[in-house]
Amino acid sequence: MYQRILLPIDGSPPSEHAAAVGLALAKRLGASVVLVHVIEPQRYRELRDVQEALERARTVGRALLEQWERKASRAQVACATQLTSTEPESRPGVAEALVDAGVAHGCDLVVMGTHGRTGLPRVLLGSVAERMARLAPVPLLLVRGDDTKPTLFKRILVAIDGSSCSDLALQHADELAGALKARLLVVYVVPDLSQLYVSAGRAWMFTDPAQLQAQLAQEQAHLREQGEFILREAAQRCKHARVHTVLREADRHLIGERIREVAEEEKAELIVMGTHGRTGLRKFLLGSVAEDVAQQARQPILLVRNPAALTHPDETHLPPPGER
């Protein structure tokens, strides 16, 4: 499973909580952590002297890293620290500096904090976390900043749809659940064809309402059979965890809403979802199932992106889980 976890540290409450979750997870997995602080002198604009602001930023960064290095030592988790910056000014931002650190240390998971239960989209879009999701093919675990309860990940939910992206998410969820001795819940939500017909403008094809309803019922039954098949195959592919499958009809509800509903019913402590596309999380979130889940779910979310989707020349390739 994951062998080296990147923990960005900036001193904010979400960062502190996420680092604590990441450190506890590393201990359970027998992994090491890499604590990284990115120096941002612009945070000290009240200091008129640029050099003085830079030194203040370095001092704060070193203190934060030393504090978390002591915590890692007490937890008996091997750690490395890195103080880095976005200097010179021509260099890209914080996310790029974190990705560089992840590459240098061979990290295969990133754990980051988000600001509040409903703040995830605002924090991600155009932010460090969104950039990290776009640039790094390694999984990104997003932890709510307002959730201070211990997270043991005893119940893990993975949402699948039969795509290659969800297949990779299933693989990660299975291995993680096995390593943590957790129960794995595999969920498939059957789309509501009546909504799809209306949104696609296909209802006009049927002048007879009874004919339309018959066609919808037939195709809906086919979708359900397809979902049952996908779940059976998914359960057979899981080799590491105790698996329970759930097929849920959307039935005029959003698919993301149904996923969150199952997560609450089953008391899931982690939701795993796949991402796809050249532009990564931004493309996957906007107008999608993941946007709804990310915006509303109370649980931490593990986003797994297929490295094969990284075709843009400015995107860096990080190693798959466990490889060096």
The sign of the torsion formed by the CA atoms of 51, 56, 57, 63 equals positive
Q: pLDDT tens digits, residue range 253-296? A: 889 999 999 999 999 999 999 876 444 444 444 347 766 787 77
Which residue in 295, 18, 306, 255 sits closest to 151, CA to CA?
18
Residues written for the chain: 324
Which residue in 8, 25, 153, 12 sits closest to 83, CA to CA?
8
Which domains are delineated in the chain?
A: 4-309 (3.40.50.12370)
The sign of the torsion formed by the CA atoms of 105, 146, 261, 192 equals negative
- What is the structure's pLDDT at 41? 66
Q: pLDDT tens digits, residue range 8-34? A: 999 888 899 999 999 999 999 999 999
* Cα distances (angstroms) measured from residue 307 to each of 34, 70, 96, 175, 241: 21, 34, 17, 18, 24
Q: List b or e across 111-121, with b for residues whose CB sees 16 or more CB atoms inside 10 angstroms.
A: bbbbbeeeebb
Which residue shows structure tokens 């532009």? 279
Say if CB 234 and CB 224 are below 8 A apart.
no
pTM of the model: 0.84
Q: Which residues contact 195 (CB under 8 A, 6 or more apart)?
A: 250, 252
Q: pLDDT tens digits, residue range 119-149? A: 454 445 447 877 777 777 699 998 887 666 6
CA atoms of 303 and 117, how far apart (whole Å)? 17
CA atoms of 144 and 21, how far apart (whole Å)? 10
